[in-house]
């Protein structure tokens, strides 16, 4: 008898070489149904990122790398001269980069793919396209290694039986595997640890309810879903030992942009003396952005608040709606930033530079 697949058995983001397609789980359909999309058109890939069919900073980066490779493959079939190829490649890159402005992994992955083109500009276009294929695959594989490493570092901050609170979805569904904020939980589970996890529902898109609660339950972890306005009470009850969240961009001073509502969780954590950790791969750390004030915050459609999850509109017609997708958590509210190269602690301007020094050293030792 064949065992029923769970969401953990599917790849969040993958490249199908035979079909020349970006393969993703359509996260807008979860948890009601598991639908796999095979995307070959750049506009559909842009839509998938904008419409949150693929979401989470690491997963967006991987999807962008695969997406721009697939487009480069098409361009390469039309253009054999480098200048013409690069002009069309640049237009496609800029278009894809416009899908989500806050998540730095999107531009990071696309810039990395562009660097492959420029480094190999003396080679034939067909060879450049092959190099882009290999880089996209490496970005995907690297994401798995990075998230696993963050899980190992994050696990040193907690112990068996701890209560953990998280906000939004920074889990397996936000990356290729392990996730960022959930990586310590999954790595701990592999080692026989047990945790009691509280997942904020995360209004207005309900990623905590639809995605985090779903994937943690599917994986066998003990998870309790709570409304966003319940986290302070849960902390006050003494049920939470640590908070782990992901993020979409870290500024050079340690300010962090993450899903709307994260800053409120950090304020409550400070009041209750609970450590607040941000899990961020170095690809999400933007040392060119001085502080959180310079991070561009994406504004989304009012319908996400007024009617998306309701059979009938729940707000009066014509009412004004403010719907920022993210907020900024100030660095003084963050206990530590967990990266694949260790844990950065205040003052972040210094410790983040040390993290990148470790990254550079690792590159040199390869």
The catalytic residue positions are 248
DSSP string over 89-109: HHHHHHHHHTS-SS-HHHHHH
Output DSSP code: residue 20. T
- Within its chain, how far is the Cα of 346 from the centroid? 23
What DSSP line would sit under 125-186, residue for residue? HHHHHHHHHHHHHHHHHHHHHHHHHHHHHHHTT--TT-EEEE-S--SGGGSSSS-STTHHHH
> What is the chain's alpha carbon radius of gyration, rounded to the nearest angstrom?
20
3-state DSSP assignment of residue 232: helix
Output the six-digit token pair for 180: 């960022």
Long-range contacts of 29-36 (CB under 8 A, 24+ apart): 30/173, 30/210, 30/211, 30/214, 31/7, 31/210, 31/211, 31/214, 34/5, 34/7, 34/10, 36/10
Asked if 336 contacts 343 with a C-beta cutoff of 8 angstroms, the reply is yes
Closest-CA residue to 68 (of 91, 52, 84, 48)? 91
Do the bridges between strand 285-286 and strand 13-16 make them parallel or antiparallel, or are there none, so unpaired? unpaired
Enter the DSSP assignment of 209: I
């Amino acid at each position: 008898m064949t065992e029923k697949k769970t969401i953990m058995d599917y790849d969040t983001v993958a490249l199908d070489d035979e079909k020349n397609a970006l393969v993703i789980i359509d996260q807008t359909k979860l948890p009601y149904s598991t639908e796999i999309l095979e995307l070959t058109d750049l506009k559909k890939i842009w839509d998938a990122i904008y419409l949150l069919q693929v979401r989470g900073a690491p997963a967006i980066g991987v999807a962008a790398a695969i997406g721009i490779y697939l487009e480069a493959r098409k361009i390469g079939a039309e253009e054999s001269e480098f200048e013409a190829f690069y002009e069309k490649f640049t237009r496609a890159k800029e278009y894809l980069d416009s899908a989500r402005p806050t998540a730095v992994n999107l531009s990071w992955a696309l810039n990395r793919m562009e660097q492959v083109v420029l480094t190999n500009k003396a080679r034939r276009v067909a060879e450049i396209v092959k190099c882009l294929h290999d880089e996209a695959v490496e970005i995907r594989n690297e994401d798995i290694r990075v998230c696993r490493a963050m899980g190992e570092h994050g696990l040193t901050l907690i112990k068996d039986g701890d209560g953990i609170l998280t906000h939004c979805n920074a889990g397996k569904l936000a990356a290729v595997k392990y996730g960022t904020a959930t990586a310590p939980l999954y790595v701990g589970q592999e080692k026989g640890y047990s945790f009691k996890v509280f997942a904020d529902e995360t209004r207005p898109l309900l990623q905590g309810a639809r995605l985090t609660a779903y994937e943690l339950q599917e994986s066998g972890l003990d998870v309790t879903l709570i409304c966003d306005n319940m986290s302070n009470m849960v902390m006050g009850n003494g049920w939470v030992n640590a908070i782990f969240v992901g993020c979409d961009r870290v500024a050079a001073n340690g300010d962090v942009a993450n899903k709307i509502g994260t800053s409120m969780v950090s304020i409550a954590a400070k009041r209750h003396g609970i450590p607040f950790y941000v899990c961020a791969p170095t690809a999400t750390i933007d040392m060119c952005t001085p502080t959180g004030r310079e991070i561009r915050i994406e504004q989304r459609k009012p319908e996400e608040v007024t009617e998306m999850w309701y059979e009938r509109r729940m707000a009066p017609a014509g009412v004004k709606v403010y719907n920022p997708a993210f907020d900024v958590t100030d660095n003084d509210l963050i206990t530590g930033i967990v990266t694949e190269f260790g844990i950065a602690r205040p003052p972040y301007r210094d410790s983040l530079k040390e993290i990148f020094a470790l990254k550079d050293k690792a590159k040199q030792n390869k």
